[in-house]
Amino acid sequence: MLADFPAASVVKLSLGLVALVIVGWVTVLQVRRRLTEPDESSGTGFTLSDLRRLHKSGQMTDAEFERAKAKVVEAARRATEREAAAAPGVVDRKPRPPGNDSGET
């Protein structure tokens, strides 16, 4: 039965099947990576101005506002650290207090 097929057709079909398996494997890996990454980089969260507006309109209590503000500030700090780590050669310098030109902090 295998003798009825030309060898070139068998090789082509085999290579096609191998390519399909590899593409499927890569697709599964990409989906797994996206599902396991933290969702902080989406940028769809609240900004501080959004939080202030909700607080001033009475839709958030003082305690809710402070908790949400702390989360936004912490997320911004982590994003800045990630960006600094991703940019090689950038020196992270602490800002000096105004009026202190001596370089001491």
- State the pLDDT confidence band at 39, using cuts at 50, 70 and 90: low
Contact 105, 96 (CB under 8 A): yes
Q: What is the per-residue pLDDT for 1?
A: 56
pTM: 0.41
Specify the higher pLDDT residue, 17 or 41.
17
Mean pLDDT is highest, among 15-24, 36-45, 70-79, for 15-24
Closest by CA to 46, choosing from 72, 70, 67, 64, is: 72
